[in-house]
A = this chain, B = another copy of it.
Amino acid sequence: MRSSELPQVKALGLFETMSEQSFERLMQAAYLQTFPAHLTLIHEGDTADFLYVLVEGAVELYAAANGREETMAVVRPVETFILAAVLKDAVYLMAARTIARSRILLVSAADVRLAFEEDAAFARAIVSELATRYRGVVKEHKNIKLRSSVERLANRLIRYEAEQGGHGVLELPYEKRILASLLGMTPENLSRAFRTLKPYGVSVNGSSVVLNDLKALAVIAKPNLLIDG
């Protein structure tokens, strides 16, 4: 693999504390590859042969059943995905496809499990990462079970605005179609939810959103650190 991205990967929470030696061994059999947009990387039910690290781009994790298909999460750089399946040597519960052209590091799953055995710092980092991910899914599950779709959208907008600098403006990081599915609604309903939020200072123009009245928006969103934090 090209070595120019290595420092970026090593800086990842998961690899940061592990020994240089273990890291090098792990990277020796790793591929850094560029994939075009809309390419399916993994299918539900496949065995987990690789741990994926998204270096650049965006990846959608989705699941299908009963003829329906829903976005479960969107991975942004630099982040790993499907760690749990790799550690359990189990099949993937979610499928993954690129949303945009993406640079992805593929690390051998067997090597990850080996490094876990041999490097205590790596083991700690894995636990930390896994626990964080676990809490992330729990929050998402609370989000779905405890909130209406308009509330979910309002809180998501508040989150994006904060992540993007807190200047009252934000760019939707991917298509509304995907955002809708991620928030557990149809595209049509997302469109209507945006209109519902207009009286609360939300104006939308394509993928650009302006929040003119954060206070009013917070009243309807009722943000909650134990869901959004």
Q: Residues of A at under 8 Å CB distance from B?
A: 44-45, 63-66, 68, 70, 72, 83-85, 87-88, 90-91, 93-94, 116-117, 120, 123-124, 126-128, 130-135, 137-142, 144-147, 151, 184, 222, 224-227
What are 12 of the A-B contact pairs (CB < 8 Å)? Answer: A45-B226, A63-B142, A72-B138, A72-B142, A87-B128, A88-B132, A93-B226, A94-B138, A127-B130, A134-B134, A141-B141, A145-B184
Chain B nearest CB, measured from A96 CB (Å): 13
A145 with B63, Cβ < 8 A, contacts A120-B120, A123-B123 known: yes
Question: Measured between alpha carbons, how far is A90 from B141 in the docked complex, in Å?
Answer: 18
Are B65 and A147 in contact, CB atoms less than 8 angstroms apart?
Answer: yes
Are B137 and A138 in contact, CB atoms less than 8 angstroms apart?
Answer: yes
A138 with B93, Cβ < 8 A, contacts A63-B145, A87-B131, A130-B130 known: yes
Question: Measured between alpha carbons, how far is A136 from B123 in the docked complex, in Å?
Answer: 21
Chain B nearest CB, measured from A73 CB (Å): 9
Copies of this chain per assembly: 2
* Centre residue among A84, A91, A145, A146 by max chain B CB count within 10 A: A145
A65 with B146, Cβ < 8 A, contacts A126-B127, A127-B126 known: yes
Are A128 and B65 in contact, CB atoms less than 8 angstroms apart?
Answer: no
Chain B nearest CB, measured from A111 CB (Å): 16
Question: Measured between alpha carbons, how far is A184 from B146 in the docked complex, in Å?
Answer: 10
Are A134 and B137 in contact, CB atoms less than 8 angstroms apart?
Answer: yes
Question: Measured between alpha carbons, how far is A151 from B66 in the docked complex, in Å?
Answer: 10
Are A146 and B63 in contact, CB atoms less than 8 angstroms apart?
Answer: yes
Residues of B within 8 A of A63 (CB): 142, 145-146, 226
Chain B nearest CB, measured from A145 CB (Å): 5
Contact of A88 (CB < 8 Å), options: B93, B131, B146: B131
Are B70 and A146 in contact, CB atoms less than 8 angstroms apart?
Answer: yes
Nearest residue (CB) in B for A223 is B65
